[in-house]
Amino acid sequence: MLDPGENIDLPPIPSKRYFTIGEVSELCAVKPHVLRYWEQEFPQLKPVKRRGNRRYYQRHEVQLIRQIRTLLYVDGFTISGARNKLDHDSEVDGKPLVSDYRTEIVSDLIREIDEIVSILKD
């Protein structure tokens, strides 16, 4: 696993719908117990829980974890400071911003549909 203090280029996030905690741990260079702790500290981070309390993270949550990691390990924020920064950045004049992850999800879906159409044409 990578040192969380290093300012590194993380691997690209695969185009999947759900990621296990192990996959997210590798994609974000953060240990699984840290991810579980962050779920308690950051209300925006809510992975889907299935049988046996297994966590499944969506792409936008992986991106959020990377943002939290940067705030804490690179920018030097405290947990409270990072939480406040994320809360502040998600609103303008008290109104929630439309999240970029929605645009990315739509782009991913369009790409997947295009791939399916090209497969069906062959």
**In whole angstroms, how far apart are CA 10 and each of 40, 70, 104?**
24, 11, 18
For the stretch 16-74, pLDDT in tens is: 889 999 999 999 999 999 999 999 999 989 999 988 889 999 999 999 999 999 999 99
pLDDT digits (tens, 9 = 90+) for 86-110: 887 765 444 444 455 566 667 777 8
Report field, pTM of the whole predicted structure over 0.75: no
Give me the CATH topology for the region 18-96.
Multidrug-efflux Transporter Regulator; Chain: A; Domain 2 (1.10.1660)
Going from N- to C-terminal start, the domains of the chain cover 18-96
* Angle between helical axes of 79-89 and 59-69 (0-180°, round to 10): 130
